[in-house]
Amino acid sequence: MSAPLLALRGAEKSYGSGPRAARVLHGIDLEVRAGSSLGIVGESGAGKSTILNLLMGLSSPTAGTVEFRGEPLRRARPGRMRDFRRAVQLVFQDPRSSLDPRMSVGRILREPLESLRIPGDHGARVAELLESVGLEPGMASRYPGEFSGGQRQRIAIARALAPSPEVLVADEPVSALDVSVRAQTIALLARLKEELGMTMVIVSHDIAIVGQLCEQIVILSDGRIVEHGPTPEVLTDPRDPYTRRLLAAVPQLG
């Protein structure tokens, strides 16, 4: 079996030093394999954001390793980090704050193409990206403030797709959206995964959303993985009391 695209091996994370150090992750082991979809679920303070930062190479573990294609990810190697940045892209939680209001949509979508030195017709790629998320190519000349929250999140997804990544990591992708447009965004992510064969990691406090999008699920509590397995199995036959409490808070998973 080939190495996973992303992996954490015994990852621990502490803040501070000495006896006052606060450990927020405890020996996390997880793998993200090509073509798979993994959901990381937990309440606020469970350690989800810390894991996301490790997977994105935005911070380093206090102990253990972060692996990319089977090798430790070392931020000190610029060429390797450029490959990593192209292969692993992030969709932020709040599109209002993640999109520069002073830049046109076209400029926003061209930015990763230029910064990652991706060759080709960037104008044509921008049009293709907008169409892929259900927006008109002519919208490239408009600015983020002219769009609804759901449309802004589509633009944020298009930006993440710009360099044709292997892995799309979404941080609470619908929590900042109105209830009426959440289902549309979930359907868009599901379609993109199916059409592009994209590997996906969804980080969320909402186990129902992860249940709709992910084949595998990790349940996180107090910086520890308390349950991990195929999503249907975990949702229908949870073994950990914490998972059962999360499920009990969801009236319906459909």
How many DSSP H helices and E strands does the chain contain? 10, 10
The whole-number pLDDT of residue 252 equals 54
Contacts for 161 with CB less than 8 Å, ≥ 6 apart: 89, 129, 132, 133, 168, 192, 196
Which ranges in 88-227 belong to alpha helices (H)? 95-98, 105-115, 122-132, 149-161, 179-196, 207-213
The whole-number pLDDT of residue 180 equals 80
* Domain contains 105: yes
* Domain contains 254: no
The enclosing domain of 115 has a CATH number of 3.40.50.300
Domain encompassing residue 84: 6-248
Q: For the chain, 254 residues long, give each residue's pLDDT as a single digit of tens.
A: 688 999 999 999 998 877 788 899 999 999 999 999 999 999 988 999 999 999 999 999 999 999 999 999 876 566 788 889 999 999 988 888 889 999 999 999 999 999 999 999 999 999 999 999 999 999 999 999 999 999 999 999 999 999 999 999 999 988 878 888 888 999 999 999 999 999 999 999 989 889 999 999 999 999 999 999 999 999 999 999 999 999 988 865 44
Tell me the pTM: 0.91
* Domain contains 41: yes
* Domain contains 18: yes
The whole-number pLDDT of residue 20 equals 80
Q: Where are the beta strands (DSSP E) in the chain?
A: 6-15, 22-32, 37-41, 63-68, 71-72, 88-91, 167-171, 199-204, 216-221, 224-230
* Domain contains 1: no
- Total of domains in the chain: 1
The whole-number pLDDT of residue 254 equals 44
The whole-number pLDDT of residue 75 equals 62
* Domain contains 145: yes
* Domain contains 111: yes
* Domain contains 253: no
The whole-number pLDDT of residue 251 equals 61
